[in-house]
Structure 1
Amino acid sequence: MIKKVGQIMVYVHDQDQAVKFWKDKMEFHVISEHDNGQGMKWIELAPAAGAETTIILHDKQLIAKMQPELNVGTPSLLFFTEDLDELYSDLKAKDVTVGEIVSMPSGRVFNFSDSEDNYFAVMENANNK
C-alpha cells in the first residue's frame, strides 16, 4: 500500500531559473542535484529540511523528447501554511504574482505563479502548527 507522496515531478523550461524562484522567492531548500553526465539533470527541493514530500525539477523539453507519451504539464499543487497573510505579504514584496485571498469552505487560499507562469495554490492550515 502507498503510505505517502514522496516526490512530485515538475517539468520546467529553465531549471536554473526555476531553482532560483523556489529558493529565493519561496525559501525552499535544495536537497540534492543530479547530473547523469549525458545531458540530463534534476534538482530536488523541499520547503524544509526533513519534509516528507519533495519537488523534483526536470527539463521539460528533454523529458518530452525521451518520453513523448508523458504528460509534462504542470501539476496542480496545493501547499499549506500556518500564516497565510504573512506569506501573501512576503511573496508580494518579492514581486511574485499572487491572486486574491479567497475564503473557501476548507479555509483561506490564494494562487501564485512561478517564473514560468505556472500557477500553484497555498491554503492556510492551522492543523499543521
Structure 2
Amino acid sequence: MINKVGQIMLYVNNQDEAVNFWTEKLGFHVISEENNGPMRWIEIAPTKGAETSIILHNKELIAKMSPGLNLGTPSLMFFAEDLDQLHGDLSNKNVKVGEIVNMPAGRVFNFADDEDNYFAVMEKK
C-alpha cells in the first residue's frame, strides 16, 4: 500500500537553469545528481530531510525515450509559514508572482519558474 509521495518528476528544457532557479530564488537544496549516459537527473528539495523531492529531468531527452509520456508541468502546491515575506522575496528576485488571494483553505499565490511553469504556495502556520 502507498504511504507517501516520494518524488515528483518535473520535465524542464534547461536543467542547469532550473537548478539555479529552485536553489537561488526559492532556497531549495540539491539532494543528489545522477548521470547515466545521456540521462541526467537532479533531485532537489526545500530541506535536506524532506520526505518528498522534485526530480528535474531533461524534457527533450525524456520525450525521445518515452514518446507519449505526459511531459506537462504537475500542479504543485507548496506550503509556507510567512506568505507575505515569501511573496516579497520572490518579487525582489524578479520571479513572476501572482497576487495573494484568500481561499477557503487559506491565503495563496502562484509563481512561475524561468520556463513559465506555474506553481502555487499556500500559507500554513
What is the RMSD computed on CA atoms of the aligned residues? 0.5
Q: 2:105 matched to which residue of 1? A: 106
- TM-score normalized by the length of structure 2: 0.99
1:6 offset after TM fit, Å?
0.3
- TM-score normalized by the length of structure 1: 0.96
Q: Secondary structure at the match of 1:27?
A: coil
Q: 2:45 matched to which residue of 1? A: 46
| 1:19-75 deviations in Å (ceiling 9; x for gaps) | 000000000000000000x21100000001100000000000100110012101100
State the percentage of identical aligned residues.
69
Q: Secondary structure at the match of 2:38?
A: coil
Paired residues, what number? 125
Q: 2:115 matched to which residue of 1? A: 116
Rounded Cα–Cα distance in structure 2 between residues aligned with 1:16 and 1:119: 18
**Structure 1 stretches of 4+ moved >4 Å:** none
Give the strand-richer structure, 1 or 2: 2
Code of the aligned partner of 2:52: T
Is residue 19 from structure 1 mapped to residue 19 from structure 2 by the alignment? yes
